[in-house]
Amino acid sequence: MLKANKYHFDERVLNNEYLADYFIKTKTILEKNNPEAKITMQFFQRTENAILSGIDVVIELLKFSCKKFEELEIWALPETSIINPLEPVLRITGHYQDFGFLEGMIDGILSRMTSVATNSARIMQAAGSKTVLNMNDRADIYFNQAFDGLASYHGGMTNFVSLAAIEFIDDLRVKKPSGTMPHALIQAYNGDLIAALKDFEKTYPQVPLVALIDYNNDCITDALKCCKEFKERLKFVRIDTAKNLVDKSLQSIKPEKGQELNGVNVELVKRLRSSLDQEGYGHVKIIVSSGFDSQKISQFERQNAPVDIYGVGEAITKSVSSFTGDSVLLNGVKQAKFGREYIESSRLVRIN
C-alpha cells in the first residue's frame, strides 16, 4: 500500500522496515532515556563538482515520516547546485527520535540521485548540442525509473523512453516518450527488417520512422535498403552493434594504430553518413547506442562523428557520489566523531 504523497513513499517506511536496525535501537533508547537531547546533523559527499539532486525528495520524506516535522530546523542547498567535497548540502536540527533515524535513507537518496544527476550532466556536456536519449530503463531495476528520471532531468536530460521516467518532471520541454523498435520486432518477422518497418508504420503512422540497422551486422547495406523502400518517410537509422562484433562493412579494413572497429565506432558512423548522403538520403539522421558514456561521447565528438542522437543507458546510474550524515552539534554545542565537525556554510537556505 502507498500513502498519498508526492513521491509515493511506501507505507513500510513508517514501520521502520527500510531502516538499519541500529537506527531503530538508537531511536528507542533516546526516546526512553534521553528524549530532550537535541542534535544537529549535516550531510556531505566527497565527489568533486557533483550536481546535487534529491533534496526535494528528502524534504518530502521528512514530511511523510516525521510526526514533528514542523519542529525541525532544516537548511539545504537548492536542487542542481554544484557541490564541493565535504561541503554540507543539508543540515537538520531536532530531537533524534523526530528525524535522526532516517539518516541511512537520506544518505541513500542523495547518493543515488546526485550520482545520476552528475553522470547525466557529464554526458550532456560531452554531447554538446547533440540530443541524448535516456535509455536507463534497461540498466536498473524498474521501480527506480521515476527518481532516476528526475535526477537525470536535474543533470540536463529531457528525452526519455518510459512514462515512469518523467512522472516527477513538470517541464513542457520534456515530451511524452515515443520509442522506435527493439531487435525482437525484427526477429518476430523472421529477420525481415522491411516487413517489420512496414507494420510499424502502419500501426503507428504518426510516429517518426526509425530503422534499427544492426540486426544482420551489415548496417550500411540495411540502411540503404530501408531508405530505398521508405524514402523521405524514413527519418532515422539507429546503430546498436555489440562490442564483440565488427560490422561487415569494416571487416576488410586493416585498422590504424589506436583505431576502434568493434561495436559502434566512429569509422562505421562516418561511412554510414557518407553512404546515405551519396545516395541522396541526407535527411536521414543517425542514432547510436550501446556502451556510450561521457568519455565515449567525447571521443566521438573530438573525431567529428556525424551522430545526431546518442542513446545512453547504464552509464547514467553508475555510482559516483556517496553521502554521509554526521551528528555534529548536541544542544547547540560542538560534539562529533573525531575527524568530523560542524561546518558553517553561507550557501545553505532555510527550508521550513
Per-residue pLDDT of the chain (352 residues; tens, 9 = 90+): 334 478 989 999 999 999 999 999 999 999 999 999 999 999 999 888 899 999 999 999 999 999 999 999 999 999 999 999 999 999 999 999 999 999 999 999 999 999 999 999 999 999 999 999 999 998 899 999 999 999 999 999 999 999 999 999 999 999 899 778 999 999 999 999 999 999 999 999 999 999 999 999 999 999 999 999 999 999 999 999 999 999 999 999 988 888 899 999 999 999 999 999 999 999 999 999 999 999 999 999 999 999 999 999 999 999 999 999 999 999 999 999 999 999 999 999 999 8
Q: Provide the pLDDT for residue 143.
A: 92
**C-beta neighbour count of 289 within 10 angstroms:** 19
Q: Provide the pLDDT for residue 189.
A: 98
Nearest to 114 by CA among 60, 48, 67, 39: 48
Locate 183 and state its grid cell: 531487435
- Gap between the Cα atoms of 10 and 55, Å rounded: 18
Q: What is the dihedral of CA 55, 325, 66, 97, to 10 degrees?
A: -170
- Gap between the Cα atoms of 232 and 285, Å rounded: 11
Q: Provide the pLDDT for residue 118.
A: 97
pTM: 0.94
Nearest to 313 by CA among 116, 139, 88: 139
* Identity of the amino acid at 183: H
Are the beta carbons of 240 and 264 closer than 8 angstroms?
yes
- Gap between the Cα atoms of 38 and 95, Å rounded: 4
Locate 268 and state its grid cell: 562505421
Burial class for 26, CB neighbours closer than 10 Å (0-12, 13-18, 19+):
middle
Locate 22 and state its grid cell: 541500529
Q: Provide the pLDDT for residue 2.
A: 38
Residue count of the chain, please give it. Answer: 352
Q: Which residue has the cell 544537529?
A: 40
Q: Provide the pLDDT for residue 258.
A: 80
Q: Which residue has the cell 554526521?
A: 326
Burial class for 298, CB neighbours closer than 10 Å (0-12, 13-18, 19+):
middle
Are the beta carbons of 239 and 292 closer than 8 angstroms?
no
Q: Provide the pLDDT for residue 139.
A: 86
Which residues are paired to 285 by β-bridges? 236
Give the single-character DSSP code of 77. Answer: P
Are the beta carbons of 129 and 59 closer than 8 angstroms?
no
Q: Which residue has the cell 547518493?
A: 111
